[in-house]
Chain A
Amino acid sequence: MTKIFDIPLYPYTRHPDQDRDQDRPARHPVVIIGAGPVGLAAAIDLAMRDVPVVVLDDNDRVSFGSRAICFAKRTLEILDRLGCGQATAHGVTWNTGRVFHGEGEVYGFNLLEEADHKHPAFVNLQQYYLEHIMVQRAQALAAQGKPLEIRGRNRVDTIGTHDDHVHLSIATPEGDYEIQADWLIACDGANSPTRRMMGLDFVGRVFEDNFLIADVVMDADFPTERWFWFDPPFNRGQSALLHRQPDDVWRIDLQLGWDIDREAEKRPERVIPRLQAMLGPDVEFSLEWVSIYTFQCRRMEKFRHGRVIFAGDAAHQVSPFGARGANSGIQDADNLAWKLAAVVQGHAPGTLVDSYDFERVYAADENILNSTRATEFITPKSDTSRLFRDAVLSLAERHKFARPLVNSGRLSTPSAYDDSWLTSPDADGLPEATRPGAPMPDAPVPGGWLLDQTGGDFCLLWVNGAAPPDLPQTPVPLRVLQIDPAQAPVLAQRYLGDAPRAAYLLRPDQHIAARWLAPETAPLSEALARALSQMEMADA
């Protein structure tokens, strides 16, 4: 049977740009390198905002292999806003995790999902399915006349950087050609050729350990839960992870240690007995993919270099414990697209793009911190750290106090941009979770869900009361949403707490920019100008 990752979804076709006089190459507002989830999210978002975008990829199909599988609620909400919301239904929803130590179970945990959100805390979905959904969405937008094209088997070979544009040489099956871009977004992965061609840093830590990552197909009766083992009988002294994906595909991570023969460990005659020992002698399975990874936690010092912007794994890399790779990459795209659109369309200064660097470097540091701590717990670097780790595990079986110290990965949550210069000062007396800078929590509203109604524009959310008719003229679209708290009690609880009424200014990426208790006198124009980086930088 032909699988989705075997089919060229955006095959090479000759483009008129290739037939131009190469002294006068075509100029594009935005070019994206990489048609993975991050590049596609940025491209779809920009095209929906009518910013012309060209995506270049050296391949012509979705990616195969052991890539992202766990997608967090915030990512599912972003995908929904981009018109890719079917990802949630396509995936496997899970909310229980279990931690084992040796032969026994230490404890089980529930993600303690808060009720009344459109999307669940997590779904598992093979990255190739997500990419397929996103490629189809991109192609549907193009068919509707949105300015988006994906050029398959277009490999960028050189990058020339200039003050107001970037010059690219591109290799194709029919020879080389050149184009220019006002802005370039590099979403070309952890080994980013763009980063290498520009000679930029990528500093961080390598964890001295190898992990066997296998996707196996099996008809097994393991529950749809995340199972993590420390020192299991089938992999003594090491760790293991089992996680379900759609189509009876299961992700297995087995820690192997540092001093191993990587090539030998990848061979089926070594891999199959390891997996059989884990799964039990009676389970039949086949291997979809096997690879051996060494994990690193690192980031670029800056994500913006003039007219070149880095996003996703190209900009930052984490270990997989916590599912903070693809999730943070899609959140990068979510943060960047509206800002770049506002700058390209002349509604905001270039410093708005600098706020992408500030906010997403902050998020990357948070992800790297969590990912590093989990990896250090899972792979103790000294006898002393192993001693404490094992002490925590043995205490955790009997005593609840030790369970929060057990770290098999802290699962991805979105960052709040408290210290960003786009974020307005807070008003007193409103809930912490909806403070300026935070991602806005979803809630049911009459006729649907809050996030569906705010969409991808700036939004003035008026809870209990009517917005004044004489709202100021704004340079960018501003939706106004009035909610009667009696009709939306969950929303009232999340956005009012004990306050009688409030107004919120929401950013296009559904983070909160500002909020007020006495909305009639709210300095809306000032908050909007701040959120568009139009205030003096000294403000920050």
Chain B
Amino acid sequence: MPDLILTRNLTDPDGFYADLMAAHDGLTKAESDALTARLVLILANHIGSRDVLNAALHAAGRGADTPPSGA
């Protein structure tokens, strides 16, 4: 079971970020939010592991100011 990766793992971060922004170009706020929601669900399915997803929820969520338990 792999742990959640929180160190650099992305190939070409600047290129990815530019593509992510381009995907939102011209969308309304509601359309952007819907795109983000779909993207999260697609990536969650790709990850698959509930443990990894729980760790990600923790890292991104309100608990992000305190170290995740068991990490």
Contact = CB atoms under 8 A, between A and B. Distances in A.
B14 A400 contact: no
B5 interface: yes
A49 B43 CA distance: 59
A370 B15 CA distance: 10
Given A383-B29, A405-B13, A410-B14, A400 B7 contact: yes
A383 B36 CA distance: 13
Contact of B8 (A370, A403, A410): A403
Nearest to A372: B18
B6 A405 contact: no
B43 to A, nearest CB: 14
B29 A401 contact: no
Given A398-B64, A401-B10, A403-B8, A385 B21 contact: yes
A373 B14 contact: yes
The dominant DSSP class at the A interface is helix
B53 to A, nearest CB: 16
Given A382-B24, A398-B64, A400-B8, A373 B17 contact: yes
B21 A404 contact: no
- Could you say which of B8, B10, B59 has the most chain A C-beta atoms within 10 Å of its C-beta? B8
A388 B23 CA distance: 12
A376 interface: yes
B32 interface: yes
The dominant DSSP class at the B interface is helix
A473 interface: no
A379 to B, nearest CB: 12
A401 B14 contact: no
Contacts of A400: 6-8
Contacts of A394: 64
A392 B24 CA distance: 16
A80 B13 CA distance: 34
A403 B17 CA distance: 12
A377 B13 CA distance: 13
A401 B7 contact: yes
B47 interface: no
A399 interface: yes
A401 B6 contact: yes
Nearest to A382: B24
Interface residues of B, number: 20
A241 B9 CA distance: 29
Contacts of B64: 394-395, 398
Contact of A384 (B8, B10, B27): B27
B20 interface: yes
Nearest to B60: A395
Interface string B12-47: 011011101100100101001000000000000000
A454 interface: no
Contacts of B32: 383-384
A277 B44 CA distance: 45
Contacts of A403: 8
A312 to B, nearest CB: 25
A410 B12 CA distance: 13
A-B interface, 7 closest residue pairs, ranked by CB to CB distance from nearest: A404-B13, A384-B32, A399-B6, A384-B24, A400-B7, A405-B13, A401-B6
Interface of B: 5-10, 13-14, 16-18, 20-21, 24, 27, 29, 32, 59-60, 64
Interface of A: 370, 373, 376-377, 382-385, 388, 392, 394-395, 398-401, 403-405, 407, 410
Given A373-B14, A395-B60, A400-B8, 14 more contacts: A382-B24, A384-B21, A384-B27, A385-B24, A388-B20, A399-B7, A401-B6, A401-B7, A401-B8, A401-B9, A401-B10, A403-B8, A405-B13, A405-B16
24 contacts: A373-B17, A373-B18, A376-B18, A376-B21, A383-B32, A384-B24, A384-B32, A385-B21, A385-B24, A392-B17, A394-B64, A398-B64, A399-B7, A399-B59, A400-B6, A400-B7, A400-B8, A401-B6, A401-B9, A403-B8, A404-B13, A405-B16, A407-B14, A410-B14
